[in-house]
Amino acid sequence: MKKKTISRRTLLKSSGVAAAFLTGTGVFPAKSGRALAVAPLLHHEDNVIAKSINSDSSQIPTLYGRLHNRQIAFVSAIFPNVAGLRLDACTYEPGEGFLRLDLLGMAVPDDNQIVLSHRLRKFPWLIHVTTLTAAHGSVEAVGRLTIDKNAKVGDVKIPDSLPAPNMCWCFQKSPNFVAGGVAAPPYGEIPKDYPNWIERCFIFTENGQTFLDKTQRQKTDEMPADDPRNNPVWTQHYVGVWQRINGEQLPVNTSRTRYVVPVVGATSNDGRFLVALASDSPRYVAQAWHTCLHHVVNWLPADKPVMERQWRMKLYAMQNEPIVLMTHLAGDFPDAMKLKDHAIATP
């Protein structure tokens, strides 16, 4: 039976650096006086099939593995330190150019962890293992490959390279982050509300913290040029100052504004909190169609065999203190903080 491809929109509607070189103004959105709604809890209707063993639920988010269909799961978390925030991470969003995987199962081998196993559709003797680990104010995801222990030796062929899977870090069910403040359909995805999400999303450029509505945004070819979602542009991709925009095949809607650190984030509706997604050295990052963030990661180290590589991302959820965020990044991604030293003047 032919497998049906699920669109990004259909899928997501079901889910719910230190600052020495950053001299931006750090202007935040104005705080609102309205009361915050509580992030929706998870219930049996969410098809929870695994729950992390939380060593300190007052400080650390509990991870919930939710079954979306036979191929796709979500990992959800409510952060005790950030009001009105619920993460729903899609493992993995299908799409052209990404690693296609079929879900095998989940496990909870250690405190504050969920481990997911997926079979590679094109190389069924290979297993992709994703380890998500929660800590105070963060969730880290690490992906690696292993060989199926039941595979016949003669059948095992290791490819020279592979694309990475596409994890979507979604906040649609976060009333303090979703545009309009209502964590229910249409999740702020209407012309009068959605631009507010863009105004609160940010990267770090040579000018400091830069909100995405202040970047050079390019229209997408996924919608007609006169569509409201292209005026202003609702979705955008970004690369680093060490990358050329014309250096590889990138989406049409890749901004001419480049970041100095591989992180993309957003401030909350009330201006008190932020979320930020970082990785080692992505191909690009994205503020995508919904209330979500993406890193299109690389398998690293690039000079190692495929089976010795991994990819890594980390989501931070914290007080709206960009300098503190940069301190975390310097400790967790020290090599990524040095990439700006290889800046290319002409994109």
Query: What is the C-alpha to C-alpha distance for residues 67 and 69, in angstroms, rounded to an integer?
Result: 6
For residue range 177-204, list pLDDT tens digits in order.
Answer: 999 999 999 999 999 999 999 999 999 9
Q: Lowest mean pLDDT of 42-51, 171-180, 189-198, name the range.
A: 42-51
Higher pLDDT, 23 or 306: 306
Q: Where are the domains of the chain?
A: 8-342
pLDDT, mean of residues 209-225: 96
For residue range 219-271, list pLDDT tens digits in order.
Answer: 999 999 999 999 999 999 999 999 988 767 899 999 999 999 999 999 999 99
Q: What is the pLDDT of residue 44?
A: 61
Instruction: Please name the residues in contact with 334: beta carbons below 8 A apart, sequence gap of 6 or more.
Output: none
Q: Is the Cβ–Cβ distance between 85 and 39 less than 8 Å?
A: yes
Q: Is the pLDDT of residue 324 over 80?
A: yes
pLDDT, mean of residues 289-306: 96
Q: What is the pLDDT of residue 154?
A: 85
For residue range 107-138, list pLDDT tens digits in order.
Answer: 999 999 999 999 999 999 999 999 999 999 99
Q: What is the pLDDT of residue 45?
A: 64
In the three-class reduction of DSSP (H, G, I as helix; E, B as strand; rest coil), residue 262 is classed as coil
For residue range 147-158, list pLDDT tens digits in order.
Answer: 999 998 888 999
Angle at 266 between CA 264 and CA 268, to 5 degrees: 165
Q: What is the pLDDT of residue 245?
A: 86
Q: Is the Cβ–Cβ distance between 288 and 298 less than 8 Å?
A: no
Query: What is the C-alpha to C-alpha distance for residues 176 and 197, in angstroms, rounded to an integer?
Result: 11
* Residue corresponding to tokens 């903080």: 337
Q: Is the pLDDT of residue 280 over 90?
A: yes
- Band (pLDDT 50/70/90 cuts) for residue 37 is low
10 Å Cβ neighbour count for 117? Answer: 17
- Band (pLDDT 50/70/90 cuts) for residue 3 is very low
